[in-house]
Structure 1
Amino acid sequence: MKIDGGCHCGAIAYEAEIDPDMVSICHCTDCQTLSGTAFRVVIFASEENFRLTRGTPKAYVKTAESGNRRVQAFCAECGSPIYATSADDGPKSYGIRVGTARQRADLKPRRQIWHRSAAPWLPGIEGLATKEMG
């Protein structure tokens, strides 16, 4: 499925080819803190299937408890998070923030990851499949 989107102010835009069956709710504590909410919804695109069409995001490198380094890319103007990818060499996968996609209404989450960090008060999502990562 082809998607396109960008930041809130329009300074950053992208397009990507994604598999809509891979939309995930991530409950990791990094996503909670970086999104400012209980979880983040992401869809993954390989490097060859993701392209910026306008602007250059600002990047912040976050080192996880595991030691993995992740580039967090966001708009320097409005602060919208756009994607995360690995900071290391090798093929990249882009974790696109579903809220930035124009097609977000069609991108229903199919799984939850890092579920052990989920806020205990979250109602209504327990029926989704869960998978522990890491």
Structure 2
Amino acid sequence: MTNRSGGCACGAIRFTINAPLMNVGVCHCTDCQKASGGGPNYVALAPKTSLSVTKGEAKTYFSKGDSGEDVGRAFCPDCGTPLWSLPPHAPFLTVKLGALDHNADLTPALHLYTASAPPWHLMHEGRPTFPKMPPFPPPGA
């Protein structure tokens, strides 16, 4: 599926992605755990230039990543739905799978920041795991 659409729970934010997703992963970092309410974040990589916001305006929260640089996390200012993240200096953004209208065809290819995962986080057997950020491009990309 080349074009995808998505948005927040209340409908205030809508977006489209007009390029194939590059990979799907599961992030277990502590920031993702806080954003999700405890579990890991399921994300897909999309070229930054492929995202168009078609309704509303997301708010972005910035925090320091492992690199020491700011990572942006976009969310709906009305309902709080996490939408995508903006890694610094990367040509891609990470779209939250839960923000996509259709995600049943997406399967995680890897797990990252597993060093931060509590023992109750589920891991997909046979998928590569990385204690921190994997090399780019990730395996299977």
TM-score (norm 1): 0.86
Distance 2:118 2:126 in 1: 15
Return the offset for 1:65: 4.2
Aligned partners of 1:18 and 1:44 also within 8 Å: no
Which of 15, 18, 21 is the matching residue for 1:19? 21
Tell me the residue number matched to 2:76: 75
Gaps of at least 5 residues in structure 1 are none
More helix as a share of residues: 1
Return the offset for 1:125: 2.5
Deviation string 1:65-102 (CA, Å, 9 cap, x unpaired) is: 4312111111011110111104x5x5652111100101
Tell me the residue number matched to 2:53: 52
Distance 2:51 2:104 in 1: 20
Tell me the residue number matched to 2:94: 95
Distance 1:12 1:123 in 2: 30
| CA-atom RMSD in angstroms | 1.9
Identity %: 34
Paired residue total: 131
Distance 1:91 1:129 in 2: 21
Aligned partners of 1:18 and 1:43 also within 8 Å: no
- Displaced runs of 4+ in structure 1, greater than 6 A? none
Tell me the residue number matched to 2:138: none
Distance 1:113 1:65 in 2: 13
Aligned partners of 1:42 and 1:95 also within 8 Å: yes
User: Is residue 105 from structure 1 mapped to residue 107 from structure 2 by the alignment?
Assistant: no
Tell me the residue number matched to 2:128: 129
